[in-house]
């Protein structure tokens, strides 16, 4: 079940509520992270409420490393990040989650072990914890409402890890079923509408007919049409003509 690829450890430092530990496990596993370490959980370990909240991510808790203090949790790591809104008086690099996870992805790719520290729910990491980290991660929240909870902070960091690790080539728009219409198909569609609307007397009055036809032709070229779209649009027009041909008596 675990992901074999190297990844950062997420270290929950003195977490309080089991529910929040479980929610943190879920948030990690949502983005494929499964190395949890837990430092001195307030309510003991294992935690039934953590397991209940974790549901499908409960196995992260079974395999989590439980330690008594922070140095023991990060002893094997080469580079440690501390998530905190404080610590700005410490001389230390301050990263956004995106910057930090890019940095971590690079380090992990080079064979380094990394860890991310998350503080207790109520108070966050203390400066005694933060000084043990190499860098700080601060989520750029609304300064008028900086109320991220533990699982949310884990979620955003895990999300950024996934983005950095996947190193996706950006800004691709994926569309299911996309067989784009080519120019021959587009022209056939435009001609079908032009001919039929001509017969239907749409391009009226006479002196505006040329510009109306141009507008309609331009319309088709401006639309991102698939082959299926052109079939739909041909079908609509054919059906309208059939309806007409059934005659006024049959309508």
Residue 86 burial (10 A CB sphere; 0-12, 13-18, 19+): middle
Structure-token pair, residue 166: 């996947």
Answer positive or negative: Cα dihedral of 241, 221, 169, 141.
negative
The least distance separating a copy of itself from the CB of residue 198, rounded to whole angstroms, comes to 11
The least distance separating a copy of itself from the CB of residue 196, rounded to whole angstroms, comes to 8
Scan residues 104-133 and list those touching a copy of itself (CB under 8 A): none
Select 40 or 154, whichever has its Cβ closest to a copy of itself.
154
According to the binding rule CB under 8 A, does residue 244 interact with a copy of itself? yes
Q: Binders of a copy of itself: how many residues, by CB under 8 A? A: 78
Select 69 or 240, whichever has its Cβ closest to a copy of itself.
240
Instruction: Say how far apart CA 8 and CA 81 lie, in whole Å.
Output: 10
According to the binding rule CB under 8 A, does residue 221 interact with a copy of itself? no
Of the residues 88, 109, 191, 211, which one makes contact with a copy of itself according to CB under 8 A = 88
Of the residues 46, 93, 131, 208, which one makes contact with a copy of itself according to CB under 8 A = 93
According to the binding rule CB under 8 A, does residue 92 interact with a copy of itself? yes
According to the binding rule CB under 8 A, does residue 186 interact with a copy of itself? no
Q: Give the 3-state secondary structure of residue 13.
A: strand
According to the binding rule CB under 8 A, does residue 78 interact with a copy of itself? no
Cβ-based neighbours of 85, under 8 Å, separated by 6 or more: 124, 138, 139, 141, 146
The least distance separating a copy of itself from the CB of residue 67, rounded to whole angstroms, comes to 25
Select 55 or 69, whichever has its Cβ closest to a copy of itself.
55
The least distance separating a copy of itself from the CB of residue 162, rounded to whole angstroms, comes to 7
Cβ-based neighbours of 76, under 8 Å, separated by 6 or more: 113
| Contact window for a copy of itself (CB under 8 A) among 61-69, 106-114, 120-128, 217-225 | 217-225
Select 210 or 232, whichever has its Cβ closest to a copy of itself.
232
Cα–Cα nearest to 25, from 46, 65, 56, 2: 56
Cβ-based neighbours of 150, under 8 Å, separated by 6 or more: 12, 15, 20, 23, 24, 118, 119, 121
According to the binding rule CB under 8 A, does residue 205 interact with a copy of itself? no
Cα–Cα nearest to 234, from 180, 198, 190: 190
Scan residues 34-73 and list those touching a copy of itself (CB under 8 A): 55-57
Instruction: Say how far apart CA 62 and CA 3 lie, in whole Å.
Output: 15
Scan residues 140-179 and list those touching a copy of itself (CB under 8 A): 140-142, 144-148, 152, 155-156, 159, 162-163, 166, 168, 170-178
């Amino acid at each position: 079940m675990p992901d074999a690829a190297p990844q950062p450890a997420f270290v929950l430092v003195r977490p309080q509520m089991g529910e929040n530990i479980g929610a943190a496990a879920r948030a990690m596993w949502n983005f494929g992270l499964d190395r949890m370490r837990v430092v001195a959980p307030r309510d003991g370990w294992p935690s039934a409420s953590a397991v209940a909240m974790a549901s499908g991510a409960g196995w992260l808790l079974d395999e989590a490393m439980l330690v008594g203090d922070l140095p023991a949790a990060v002893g094997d790591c080469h580079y440690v990040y501390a998530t905190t809104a404080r610590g700005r008086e410490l001389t230390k690099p301050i990263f956004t989650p995106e910057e930090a996870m890019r940095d971590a992805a690079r380090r992990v790719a080079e064979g380094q072990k990394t860890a991310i520290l998350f503080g207790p729910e109520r108070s966050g990491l203390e400066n005694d914890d933060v000084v043990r980290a190499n860098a700080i991660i601060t989520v750029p929240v609304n300064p008028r409402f900086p109320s991220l909870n533990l699982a949310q902070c884990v979620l955003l960091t895990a999300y950024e890890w996934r983005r950095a690790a996947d190193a996706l080539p950006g800004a691709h728009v994926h569309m299911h079923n996309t067989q784009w219409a080519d120019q021959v198909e587009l022209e056939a569609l435009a001609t079908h509408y032009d001919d039929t609307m001509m017969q239907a007397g749409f391009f009226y009055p006479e002196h505006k007919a040329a510009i109306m036809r141009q507008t309609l032709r331009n319309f088709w070229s401006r639309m991102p049409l698939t082959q299926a779209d052109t079939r739909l649009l041909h079908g609509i027009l054919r059906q309208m003509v059939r309806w007409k041909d059934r005659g006024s008596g049959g309508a």
